[in-house]
Structure 1
Amino acid sequence: MLFTFLLVVHIIVATALVAIILVQRSEGGGLTSGGSPGGLMSARGAADFLTRTTAILAGVFVLLSIALAALASVERAPSTIDTSLVGKTAAPASAPAPAPVSDDPLAAAAAQGGGIASNGAAPQ
């Protein structure tokens, strides 16, 4: 219920933000312009009002986006933990498979654990 309400507010804020941005003039400096003593009725005052409104709506949009993401993650969290696999163990390891029969005497010696001794001589 809260999620739906915030989603509707988010859509309204996004629509208002798009409308405010489209109303603004494309020239005028944006963030680089300074304050004007002319007041709200002048062109400069209207531009300042639109700039402030854009900043406020953008901030509300970001906060609503974060809130909606947090609510979505909480509502989608599993309420129970699946314990169907607890206690099942893997099959016990069987004895190692015998080495394949080969005509190569070195392969047969390696399979039996033989090899070259530390002094360089072959085992006997």
Structure 2
Amino acid sequence: MQNVVLIVHLLLALSLIGVVLVQRSEGGGLGIGGGDSSPQAGRPPLTAMAKLTWALAIAFISTSLFLTVLAAQQSASTSVLDRLGVPAPAEAPATSGLPAADSLLPPSLDSDSLAPPPAE
């Protein structure tokens, strides 16, 4: 079932890309240039291509949500490593060669190391 929905999802994605690329550009993207900017200019009615784009977009989002629900239901509560039989590490790995955490802190304001060296 998941494979069928995934194939439909991919076909919807490809057809949505195709329909969007075939549509005529009306200009005025992001409000830049072109188009009638008078207040009386209404929005043009939806064309068949625009309705098809909306239908494909809604179907694409629906299959996306459906695939997400299917994946969540089929997910296991165990790790892949648990299923392979690899033992989990009991402790964090040793941090050899790294400086101590206290030495990574910035010097305090009371420290004299912030003062410039004396002039000689």
Q: TM-score, normalised by structure 1?
A: 0.48
Higher relative contact order structure (alpha carbons within 8 Å, sequence separation ≥ 6): 2
Q: TM-score, normalised by structure 2?
A: 0.49
Larger Rg: 1
